[in-house]
Amino acid sequence: MQDEIYQMNKNILILGAAGQIGSELTQLLRGTYPDRTVVASDLHNSDVLGTPFELLDATDEKAIRQIIEKYQIGEVYLMAAMLSATAEKYPEKAWQLNMQSLLIVLNLAKEKRINKIFWPSSIAVFGSTTPKQNTPQVTITEPNTVYGISKLAGERWCAYYREKYGVDVRSIRYPGLISWKTPPGGGTTDYAIDIFHQALKNGKYECFLTENTKLPMMYMDDAIRATLQLMAADLSGVKICSSYNLAGVSFSPKELANAIQKYISDFCIIYRPDSRQAIADTWPQSIDDVCARQDWNWKAKFDLEHTVLEMIKGIKSLQ
Ligand code: SER
């Protein structure tokens, strides 16, 4: 009987809702599912999140259990994580946050307290031994970063809980995500956001990656749409139990700068690679997402030109 009640719970909890993805995901979920309560939670509140909001640490199991009871949560989006560049500075803290939070929600689903989970993985699961062009879904995964190690381990836990306990957990290997509403925090791909802010403010940008460092990227609207699409898919069609490759657009800092110069003609960029270059050098340049396309009809909408246009319009609207 208790099991059946939990199965009926339709409300949604977002852990890490104040972050770059979480803040936009919260708004879109509330808009898409007006009949479901979407509870935003994080260590700190943010103006854009609205209500209901709960101060919540994604590693505090007891507090998460209380919130799940309080709001009759059926679905959890676990967006709290320490990203690649920051995780290199705090390896153990990163491992603890990234792993502990995942195991807490996986166990809640195993106990049938919740019935569905979204957990983001990353292109960081790949490493220097992975084929760099059109990186396949199944390939060598020997990550060279703490963040990548935690995401790869997380993927294996997701597959294990699905296969062994029937847990409905769904995941995407996000590329670098580009957005203007909420700043990113501590990633290697963050340059592709900073560059727009600096271009519009000062007309110049000092890039921490070299000019030809090509990486897989995606505009946030595509990433959120993919997330909602995967979560709405029939479980029988979600054949990848670890995490789906997802492709948007691939470009280098130089190609991005050229695209920005079409709007800001005197924009100039200089290159001063720092420690993040070593991380970027181990990641793929482009991704093969055939499984996502076949299994749940994924198709990216935003190319480089469209992304640049939206970013410039969006940041201008904030000024
Ligand atoms: N954008 C992330 C990072 O740079 C990759 O998942 O860490």
Structural domains for the chain: 2-122+141-174+218-245 (3.40.50.720), 177-216+249-286+302-318 (3.90.25)
**How many Cα neighbours within 13 Å face the side chain of 80?**
30
pLDDT digits (tens, 9 = 90+) for 260-273: 999 999 999 999 99
Taking 70 as the pLDDT cut, the residues of the chain under it are 1-7
Say if ligand 1 is within 6 A of residue 120 CB: no
pTM, full prediction: 0.96
Rounded to the nearest angstrom, the distance between the alpha carbon of 35 and the centre of ligand 1 is 33
How are beta strands 249-251 and 215-219 bridged, if at all? Answer: antiparallel
Return the residue whose CA atom lies nearest to atom 2 of ligand 1: 187
**Closest-lying ligand 1 atom to the alpha carbon of residue 190:** 4
The answer to whether the beta carbons of residues 217 and 251 sit under 8 Å apart is yes
The pLDDT value recorded for residue 319 is: 85
Ligand 1 test: best mutation among 20, 79, 86, 122, most atoms within 8 Å of CB? Answer: 122
């992975």: which residue's tokens? 130
Say if ligand 1 is within 6 A of residue 83 CB: yes
pLDDT digits (tens, 9 = 90+) for 28-40: 999 999 999 999 9
The pLDDT value recorded for residue 12 is: 98
The pLDDT value recorded for residue 99 is: 98
CA distance 238 to 229: 11
Q: Would you list the DSSP string of 248-293? A: -EEE-HHHHHHHHHTTSTT-EEEE---THHHHHTTS-SSB--HHHH
The pLDDT value recorded for residue 70 is: 97
């640049």: which residue's tokens? 308
16: left (phi over 0), alpha (psi -120 to 50) or beta: left
- Residues 194-206: b if buried by 16+ CB within 10 A, e if exposed: ebbbbbbeeeebe
Rounded to the nearest angstrom, the distance between the alpha carbon of 186 and the centre of ligand 1 is 8
The answer to whether the beta carbons of residues 97 and 81 sit under 8 Å apart is yes
CA distance 285 to 253: 12
Closest residue by Cα to residue 171 from 222, 108, 102, 112: 102
